[in-house]
Amino acid sequence: MYKSNKYVYNINKQRLINNERSKKMKIINTIALILVIVGGLNWGLIGFFNFNLVDFLFGAGSILSKLVYILVGIASLWCISLFAKIFE
């Protein structure tokens, strides 16, 4: 009886851990998607109106604008993994 209860406890503990990981991954995926959308909209503005919103907000060549570009680049790499999950 004790062994059975311990087994059930371990399964429930593992489900809780997986649920916590799932919540964290959902947050990361959402942030990555938002950054990719921001980057896409910025490129659309550049293409249609020759207007760079990131440079306008943070200054051309500033550290903040470079940080935004780096974060968008990292987010796009992360989203490649999301794309791969579609075909699993």
Report the C-alpha gap between 29 and 81 in whole angstroms. 10
Instruction: Note the pLDDT of residue 7.
Output: 60
What is the Cα 50 distance to its own chain's centre? 27
Residue 43 lies in a domain: yes
State yes or no: pLDDT of 23 exceeds 90: no
Report the C-alpha gap between 11 and 1 in whole angstroms. 16
What is the Cα 82 distance to its own chain's centre? 9
pLDDT digits (tens, 9 = 90+) for 24-53: 888 999 999 999 999 999 999 999 999 999
Residue 8 lies in a domain: no
Q: Look up the domain containing 76 and give its range.
A: 25-86
Q: Is 52 buried (19+), middle (13-18) or exposed (0-12) by CB count in 10 A?
A: middle
pLDDT band at 69 (very low <50, low <70, confident <90, very high): very high
Whether the full predicted model's pTM is greater than 0.85, yes or no, is no
Residue 54 lies in a domain: yes
What's the alpha-carbon Rg for the chain, to the nearest Å? 21
User: Which whole number is the average pLDDT over 52-79?
Assistant: 96
State yes or no: pLDDT of 1 exceeds 50: no
Report the C-alpha gap between 88 and 83 in whole angstroms. 10
